A and B are shown apart, each in its own frame.
Chain A
Amino acid sequence: AQTVTQSQPEMSVQEAETVTLSCTYDTSESNYYLFWYKQPPSRQMILVIRQEAYKQQNATENRFSVNFQKAAKSFSLKISDSQLGDTAMYFCAFMKSSTGANSKLTFGKGITLSVRP
């Protein structure tokens, strides 16, 4: 079974600064996907970024980028130029690459990020 660990329950960052959210995972799979989801106070889950495990290049989406270390099973999220709207709970998630019933998300416990004005 897969596990996803987010050991930091809360973080705070000053507006316009950079913050990194940590995530580690454990799996015996060789092909899989990793995700970061954002859940703002509205509680709507929003996909922030996705990484395919077979790709060595780290995924980026505007101010969001990941540091994917496959051997270390680490998948951290870097938010640059933090904005007040980034205040949310962030979840790291794992999904096997199969197309069958086992292709479902396994979530970490989440981290609450607060951006200070």
Chain B
Amino acid sequence: GAVVSQHPSRVICKSGTSVKIECRSLDFQATTMFWYRQFPKQSLMLMATSNEGSKATYEQGVEKDKFLINHASLTLSTLTVTSAHPEDSSFYICSARRPIAGGGNEQFFGPGTRLTVL
């Protein structure tokens, strides 16, 4: 399968600071990437869809000014949590979409980033 990397894997920051998380598709080009948030023992919650060369599409209830997404190239999307607060502490997962031979798409996931805001 395709490989998606995510960096950093863990980050601890002080309240009020900003944190950037990178998501890279290592062996394929991804025009579309997705950012998820996951709480312990719960499902993945889609935050936004990141489209290369255009603005991200945010899900209802997600603050776009707080969670800035940039998809500047076909292999890189970044999520910046601005003015982070303890309630932003969570596990963030990115995913890159790739077409499947014969039709349809498949999503490949990064290993996730654990954010802790003190």
Contact = CB atoms under 8 A, between A and B. Distances in A.
Interface of A: 33, 37, 42-47, 50, 52, 89, 91, 95, 97, 99, 101, 103-105, 107-110, 112
A15 B104 CA distance: 35
Contacts of B43: 91, 107-110
Given A109-B43, A110-B42, A43 B105 contact: no
B57 A109 contact: no
A50 B105 CA distance: 11
B109 A99 contact: no
A104 B34 contact: yes
A99 B104 CA distance: 7
A37 to B, nearest CB: 8
Interface of B: 1, 32, 34, 38, 41-44, 46, 49, 51, 57, 91, 93, 95, 97, 99, 103-109, 111-112
A97 B41 CA distance: 29
Nearest to B57: A101
Nearest 5 A-B pairs (CB), nearest first?
Answer: A45-B109, A107-B43, A103-B105, A109-B43, A44-B111
Nearest to A46: B109
Contacts of B99: 99
Contacts of B34: 104-105
